[in-house]
């Protein structure tokens, strides 16, 4: 794996640890603030007999609702953070490789959600989306998707470039060390579609 | 004309193979040589000298190769898969033809590795 990506992977692991410990602390703080000011019970349904109610008052209270809300918010913030951002060295790697093939002044737009869009001449584009960790435990996977085409031999062209077609777009899931060579192949396939 | 078509296919095959990473290249070469035999995940990981778990091979590399229709995976039982190269693929068909014509010795080596259980 490329050195930048190794760095990015290590950075990601570190950040995961930091986020986890921060969440532990924030969780305990949220717990304290939810239950310290006194329990405000939800009104228990009247079919529960008296002895149970006192126990239920702690469990089924606005405090619990608030506490879980805080936990959900934290989980959501963490989920958003890991969905949206790529560690910086990985971004540098991706941009560097893409610029390497498509030229210094290629127009590459970076979007939130670890996505890149390369605008090519003639209105077509290539979408590159990155995944930090794949299901097989592989680091930094990319998915390439081209713009949509109407062509009667789209599938044939895709096969000859090692890709498949999904609703009129060339698409392929690739590993980080294939990013250069297979983006090149995709660009070539798109040229073929445009000229034939 | 026919020769030009063949050359074109070989060029494209060469380009495809060199665009793939080491693991994928090794998988396609091994499967191309032993065609029409199919192998299980464990056998495949031994053929290509893969050190990781074969389960991670399935969920990563093999799933992607299957998505691009380069290999075919049949599930025999919940835990046993049979993996073979897709001979209908326009370029890999060429690879299989070449392997069958010129790859007898390499095939023997692969087969020997398979037999050593």
Percent of chain B with pLDDT over 70: 98
Percent of chain A with pLDDT over 70: 92
pLDDT of residue A11: 92
pLDDT of residue A50: 67
B window 25-84, beta carbon within 8 A of A: 52, 55-61, 63-64, 67-70
* ipTM value > 0.85: no
A100 pLDDT band (50/70/90 cuts)?
A: confident
Contact A161 B16 (CB under 8 A): yes
Tens digit of each residue's pLDDT (9 = 90 or more) over A110-131: 888 899 999 888 788 999 999 9
List the Cα angle A169/B9/A103 in 5-degree steps: 55
Neighbouring CB atoms inside 10 A of B19's CB total 21
Whether residues A109 and A151 share a domain: the answer is: yes
Give the separation between CA B86 and CA B102, rounded to whole angstroms.
19
Q: Which residues contact residue A52 at a Cβ distance below 8 angstroms, ignoring those fewer than 6 apart? A: none
Give one DSSP letter per residue of B33-98, joined into a string. Answer: HHTT--B-HHHHHHHTT--S-HHHHIIIIIHHHHHTTSEEEEEEETTEEEEEE-TTSHHHHHHHHH
Quote the mean pLDDT of chain A.
Answer: 86
Please tell me the total count of domains within chain A. Answer: 2
pLDDT of residue A64: 83
Whether residues A118 and A151 share a domain: the answer is: yes
Check if A137 contacts B (Cβ < 8 Å). yes
| Owner of token pair 């392929």 | A172
Please, what sign has the CA dihedral across residues A95, A96, A100, A101?
A: negative
Return the CATH number at A153: 3.30.1460
- Collect all residues of chain A within an 8 Å Cβ-Cβ radius of residue B70: 162
Give the separation between CA B70 and CA B88, rounded to whole angstroms.
9
pLDDT of residue A60: 72
| Owner of token pair 């608030």 | A66
- Cis amide leading into B36 (omega within 30): yes
Starting at the earlier edge strand, list the strands of the sheet with A164-166: A107-111, A115-119, A125-133, A139-146, A169-175, A164-166
Contact B20 A185 (CB under 8 A): no
Does pLDDT of A133 surpass 80?
Answer: yes
Whether residues A63 and A92 share a domain: the answer is: no
Give the separation between CA B113 and CA A44, rounded to whole angstroms.
70
A133-156 mean pLDDT = 87
Check if B85 contacts A (Cβ < 8 Å). no
pLDDT of residue A44: 63
Of residues A135 and A45, the one with the higher pLDDT is A135
Give the separation between CA A169 and CA A143, rounded to whole angstroms.
12
For testing the chain B interface, which of A133, A162, A164, A173 should be mutated: the one with the most B CBs within 10 Å?
A162
Whether residues A101 and A172 share a domain: the answer is: yes
Contact A156 B90 (CB under 8 A): yes
> Which residue segment(s) compose the domain that A189 sits in?
88-195
Which DSSP state fits A148? -
Q: Which CATH class is domain B2-115?
A: mainly alpha
Whether residues A42 and A101 share a domain: the answer is: no
Q: Among A84, A109, A130, identify where a domain stops.
A: A84
Whether residues A68 and A97 share a domain: the answer is: no
Give the separation between CA A48 and CA A59, rounded to whole angstroms.
14
Q: Which residues contact residue A11 at a Cβ distance below 8 angstroms, ignoring those fewer than 6 apart? A: A87, A88, A89
Check if A143 contacts B (Cβ < 8 Å). no
Neighbouring CB atoms inside 10 A of A116's CB total 19
Contact B60 A135 (CB under 8 A): yes
Give the separation between CA A24 and CA A167, rounded to whole angstroms.
44
Tens digit of each residue's pLDDT (9 = 90 or more) over B24-55: 999 999 999 998 888 988 888 888 888 777 77
Whether residues A119 and A173 share a domain: the answer is: yes
Tens digit of each residue's pLDDT (9 = 90 or more) over A41-97: 776 666 766 667 666 666 777 888 888 999 999 999 988 988 888 889 999 999 999
Nearest-CA distance A184 → chain B (Å) = 9
Contact B16 A135 (CB under 8 A): no
Q: Are A23 and A74 in contact (CB under 8 A)?
A: yes
Give the separation between CA B30 and CA A113, rounded to whole angstroms.
37
- Collect all residues of chain B within an 8 Å Cβ-Cβ radius of residue A182: 19-20
Check if B90 contacts A (Cβ < 8 Å). yes
CA A110, distance to chain mean position in Å, is: 13
For B70, phi then psi, to 5°, come to: -90, -30
The domain segmentation of chain B, as residue ranges, is 2-115
Contact A163 B58 (CB under 8 A): no
- Collect all residues of chain B within an 8 Å Cβ-Cβ radius of residue A172: 64, 67-68
pLDDT of residue A14: 93
Check if A134 contacts B (Cβ < 8 Å). yes
Does pLDDT of A135 surpass 90?
Answer: no
Of A164, A175, A184, the CB nearest to B67: A164
Q: Among A84, A118, A139, identify where a domain stops.
A: A84
Q: Read off the tokens for A11.
A: 């950075």
| Residue ranges in chain B modelled with pLDDT below 70 | 1, 117
């Amino acid at each position: 794996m490329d050195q930048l990506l190794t760095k990015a992977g290590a950075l990601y692991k570190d950040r995961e640890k930091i986020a986890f410990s921060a969440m532990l602390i924030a969780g305990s703080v949220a717990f304290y603030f939810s239950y310290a000011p006194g329990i405000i019970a939800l009104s228990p349904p009247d079919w529960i007999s008296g002895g149970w109610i006192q126990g239920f008052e702690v469990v089924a209270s606005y405090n619990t609702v608030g506490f879980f809300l805080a936990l959900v918010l934290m989980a959501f913030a963490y989920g958003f953070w890991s969905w949206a951002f790529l560690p910086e060295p990985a971004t540098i790697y991706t941009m560097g490789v893409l610029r390497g093939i498509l030229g210094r002044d290629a127009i590459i737009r970076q979007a939130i959600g670890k996505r890149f869009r390369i605008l090519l001449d003639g209105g077509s584009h290539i979408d590159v989306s990155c995944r930090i960790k794949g299901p097989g435990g592989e680091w930094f996977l990319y998915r390439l998707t081209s713009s949509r085409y109407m062509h009667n031999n789209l599938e044939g062209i895709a096969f000859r470039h090692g890709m498949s077609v999904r609703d009129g777009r060339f698409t392929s899931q690739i590993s980080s060390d294939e990013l250069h060579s297979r983006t090149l192949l995709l660009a070539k396939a798109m040229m073929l579609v445009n000229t034939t | 004309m026919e020769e030009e078509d063949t050359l074109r296919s070989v060029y494209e095959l060469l380009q495809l193979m060199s665009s793939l990473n080491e693991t994928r290249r090794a998988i396609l070469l091994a499967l191309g040589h032993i065609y029409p035999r199919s192998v299980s995940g464990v056998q495949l990981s031994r053929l290509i000298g893969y050190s990781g778990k074969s389960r991670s091979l399935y969920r990563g590399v093999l799933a992607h190769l299957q998505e691009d229709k380069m290999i075919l995976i049949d599930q025999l039982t919940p835990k046993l898969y049979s993996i073979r190269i897709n001979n209908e693929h326009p370029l890999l068909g060429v690879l299989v033809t070449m392997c069958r014509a010129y790859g007898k010795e390499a095939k023997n080596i692969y087969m020997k590795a398979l037999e050593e259980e």
